[in-house]
């Protein structure tokens, strides 16, 4: 079946949410089968781990790798007139303000474990772009 390019976009805006659950599941399965070593999947940047520890949202789910620590979500927003390294969003109020902006931004939601340094991109979603 052929789909037009427009069918793959979100609600006619050209912007859509991207979910990375299947890639996450495949990576975890490869680790559990012994095809990947822990140091190959637990290599989060120290700045991400710092953000997860200090401003991350704690989930009610254990790390799929070490199974000792609860996962934390960290959201970074990138776009015009933001720092090149993005902006770590720590409150709902801050995200609401970014979402009201006219320019189109992109949010990356990352899960991280502060114990073993596992991390994985969960979701990419559009922010802002209000007209």
At residue 99, the 3 state secondary structure works out as helix
Dihedral sign computed on CA atoms, order 77, 81, 85, 87: negative
pLDDT at position 4 is 43
| Whole-prediction pTM | 0.84
pLDDT tens digits for 17-39? 899 999 999 999 999 999 999 99
**Phi and psi for 129 in degrees, rounded to 5?**
80, 20
Going by C-alpha positions, the residue among 88, 130, 111 that lies closest to residue 20 is 111
Tell whether the model's pLDDT for residue 1 goes beyond 80.
no
Residues 58/44, Cβ–Cβ less than 8 Å: no
Q: Which residue has the tokens 């190959």?
A: 40
Q: What's the mean pLDDT in 1-19?
A: 55
Identify the helix (H) or strand (E) that includes residue 46. helix 46-55
Task: Give the SS3 label for residue 126.
Answer: strand
Q: Is 121 helix (H, G, I), strand (E, B) or coil?
A: strand
Q: What is the pLDDT, as a whole number, of residue 104?
A: 92
* pLDDT digits 0-9 by tens, 67-98: 999 999 999 999 988 999 889 999 999 999 99
């Amino acid at each position: 079946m052929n789909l037009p390019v427009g069918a793959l976009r979100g609600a006619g805006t050209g912007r859509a949410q991207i979910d990375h659950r299947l890639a996450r599941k495949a990576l975890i399965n490869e680790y559990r089968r012994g095809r990947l070593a822990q140091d190959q999947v637990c290599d989060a940047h120290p700045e991400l781990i710092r953000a997860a520890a200090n401003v991350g949202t704690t989930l009610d789910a254990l790390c799929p790798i070490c199974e000792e620590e609860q996962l934390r979500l960290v959201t970074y927003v990138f776009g015009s007139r933001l720092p090149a390294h993005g902006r770590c969003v720590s409150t709902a109020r801050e995200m609401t303000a970014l979402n009201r902006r006219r320019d189109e931004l992109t949010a990356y939601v990352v899960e991280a474990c502060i114990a073993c340094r596992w991390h994985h991109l969960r979701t990419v979603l559009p922010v802002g772009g209000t007209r």
